[in-house]
């Protein structure tokens, strides 16, 4: 297959659209409501949820763009996002010919999916941290919106959940989901049984994690489910929190405990279970957070919740007593697989800690776990019988009193970039990375509101041992066969990456470095690429009027939405 590299440069004098709060340009015509039934059926030509379907597979059955036609893929249109300064992490959603997406600082916009013409835009006007805005761990990013009926839902950096009228972008309702302090929202909402479910972030600043469901029509709170226990003197919200408290010691609630739900979720309508991933502890170091040790439930865990009440049904903790910021909030997906001759309903996740997990999604029992990174030095494996990691002697740096380099570092072997599935190849396409970081516990810990509270010492490089060399590439795309939990192929990638999307055209698309790249989904051979600018988000595909489109947002200084079609402009 011939490889063609496409380079795009913005034309000189390209118009920038002015940002306005509220309505800018009204859409014409009446959009079709996105019903519960439509969300469940996942129409092939649309991309209605952040994961395309509620199993979060990010697989499209479209095949007009395939190995035989990929050389004809060219630019159809692009649109400048009039907000810059942060990474682009949003997955656009497409319904009834309109694309809805977010940019930096929770900016929301709707475009004509055929032409890129602006329908409307909404800027919530969230101030920077220096201007009194929220404290944010890792950038003023936003991972997208949710659609339901006649509204678009978005979580804002300042902790608000907002419903916008789908036709106009006007605010229908808004609710403050977080108390005053250092909470923030960067993740996309999910729609579950007529409710909007949203989590939050902020564990580094000392908060208590939770997830909340709101009535999609009115914005009224339906339930709230905490992920770590609060002060026992105040009583426990449910038996799950009472049981969790037995795995903590000291006065963990003073610094909140952590466990924020800032990204991955999935819903199984048949099992009627909502799955969420939880984050790291506050502070990171367990010896300060929970001086007597313990697993510190439900940090760094996959939790299955009753979607009607938020009550936990089961949990699987990927990193018990997390000491390393190995969150389990990374994207997850639901698959039905035949494993050892038995039909299994599974949930899979590749969290920060470097292991790829296949878990029974009805019971929470571990089926398999294998390292997907080259540099995983905190544990040598996972015991399938107990479900617990087999930690290396140096992993618990607090016990030794000396610092140590461990892999992966806090950025993880996999972070926010979504993985995707292809039922034709039986492979999961995982954007992975190798990293190492120096961990050393502080001699004492003094909680400082509004500042990072990790419990780690700040040591000069000259005071550290020599940093070990990585044994693998810094970034890579790994194809994992989840039935056997083995690597099928990998390719080294060209820098900081975004997510992946797979199609029935036997292709996997990946935002990597400055490029949108298409690979042969079976072999990993690169078959096409387009330069779109540093800071790629996650690609999607959709079909209108018999034509398949491929879209990605990219660029830091001049962020854009790029949409490609067959026989588009072969720009350079």
What is the number of other CB atoms lying within 10 angstroms of the CB of residue 50? 27
Report helix, strand or coil for 141: coil
DSSP-derived letter for residue 393 is: T
Whether 308 is a known active-site residue: answer no
Distance CA 552, CA 102 (A): 12
Give the H/E segment covering residue 521: none
Task: For residue 432, list its beta bridge partners.
Answer: 476
Please answer whether residues 526 and 519 qualify as being in contact, where contact means their C-beta atoms are separated by less than 8 angstroms.
Answer: yes
What is the number of other CB atoms lying within 10 angstroms of the CB of residue 466? 7
Distance CA 252, CA 261 (A): 18
The residue from 325, 360, 525, 567 that is catalytic is 325
Using a 10 angstrom Cβ sphere, with 0-12 exposed, 13-18 middle and 19 or more buried, the burial of residue 547 is: middle
Structure tokens at 34: 């996105």
Please answer whether residues 186 and 262 qualify as being in contact, where contact means their C-beta atoms are separated by less than 8 angstroms.
Answer: yes
- Reduced 3-state DSSP string for 489-505: EEEECCCCEEEEEEECC
Distance CA 145, CA 47 (A): 12
Kindly write down the DSSP assignment for every residue of 60-72, as one continuous string: E---SS-TTTGGG
CA angle 164, 167, 173 (to 5 degrees): 20
DSSP-derived letter for residue 420 is: E
Report helix, strand or coil for 348: strand
Nearest in space to 428 (alpha carbons), one of 45, 47, 91, 58? 58
Distance CA 344, CA 163 (A): 37
Distance CA 22, CA 90 (A): 20
Please identify every residue annotated as catalytic.
325
């Amino acid at each position: 297959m011939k490889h063609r590299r496409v380079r795009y440069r913005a034309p000189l004098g390209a118009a920038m659209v002015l940002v306005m709060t509220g309505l800018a340009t009204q859409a014409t015509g009446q959009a079709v409501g996105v019903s519960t039934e439509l969300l469940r059926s996942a129409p092939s030509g649309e991309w209605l949820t952040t994961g395309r379907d509620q199993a979060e597979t990010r697989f499209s059955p479209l095949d007009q763009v395939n190995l035989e036609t990929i050389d004809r893929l060219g630019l159809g249109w692009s649109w400048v996002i009039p907000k810059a300064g942060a990474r682009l992490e949003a997955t656009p959603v497409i319904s009834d010919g309109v694309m809805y997406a977010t940019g930096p600082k929770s900016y929301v916009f709707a475009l004509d999916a055929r032409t890129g013409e602006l329908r409307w835009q909404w800027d919530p006007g969230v101030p920077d941290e220096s201007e009194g805005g929220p404290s944010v761990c890792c950038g003023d990013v936003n991972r997208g919106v949710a659609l339901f009926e006649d509204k678009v839902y978005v979580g804002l950096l300042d902790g608000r959940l907002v419903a916008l009228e789908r036709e106009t972008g006007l605010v229908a309702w808004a609710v403050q989901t977080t108390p005053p302090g250092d909470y923030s929202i960067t993740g996309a909402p999910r729609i579950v049984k007529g409710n909007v479910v949203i989590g939050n972030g902020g564990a580094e600043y000392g908060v208590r994690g939770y997830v909340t469901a709101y009535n999609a029509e009115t914005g009224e709170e339906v339930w709230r489910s905490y992920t770590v226990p609060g002060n026992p003197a105040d009583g426990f919200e449910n038996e799950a929190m009472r049981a969790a408290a037995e795995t903590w010691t000291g006065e963990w609630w003073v610094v909140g405990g952590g466990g924020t739900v800032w990204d991955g979720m999935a819903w199984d309508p048949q099992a009627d279970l909502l799955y969420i991933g939880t984050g790291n502890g506050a502070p990171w170091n367990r010896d300060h957070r929970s001086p007597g040790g313990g697993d510190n439930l439900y940090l760094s865990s996959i939790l299955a919740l009753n979607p009607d009440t938020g009550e936990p049904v089961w949990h699987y903790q990927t990193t018990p007593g997390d000491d390393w910021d190995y969150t389990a909030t990374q994207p997850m997906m639901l698959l039905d697989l035949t494993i050892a001759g038995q039909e299994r309903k599974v949930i899979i996740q590749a969290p920060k800690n470097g292991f790829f997990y296949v878990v029974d999604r009805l019971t929470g029992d571990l089926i398999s776990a294998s390292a997907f990174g080259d540099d995983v030095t905190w544990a040598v494996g996972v015991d399938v019988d107990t479900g617990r990691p087999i930690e290396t002697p140096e992993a618990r740096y607090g016990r030794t009193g000396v610092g140590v380099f461990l892999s992966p570092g806090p950025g993880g072997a996999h972070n926010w970039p979504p993985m995707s599935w292809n039922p034709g190849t039986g492979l999961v396409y995982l954007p992975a990375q190798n990293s190492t970081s120096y961990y050393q516990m502080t001699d004492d810990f003094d909680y400082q509101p509004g500042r990072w509270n990790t419990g780690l010492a700040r040591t000069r490089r000259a005071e550290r041992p020599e940093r070990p060399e990585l044994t693998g590439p810094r970034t890579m795309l790994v194809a994992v066969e989840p039935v056997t939990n083995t690597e099928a192929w990998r390719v080294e990638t060209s820098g900081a990456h975004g997510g992946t999307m797979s199609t029935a055209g036997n292709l996997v698309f990946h935002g990597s470095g400055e490029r949108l790249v298409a690979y042969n989904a079976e072999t990993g051979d690169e078959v096409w690429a387009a330069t779109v600018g540093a800071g790629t988000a996650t690609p999607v595909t959709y079909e209108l009027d018999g034509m398949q489109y491929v879209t990605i947002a990219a660029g830091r200084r001049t962020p854009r939405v790029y949409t490609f079609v067959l026989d588009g402009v072969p720009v350079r």
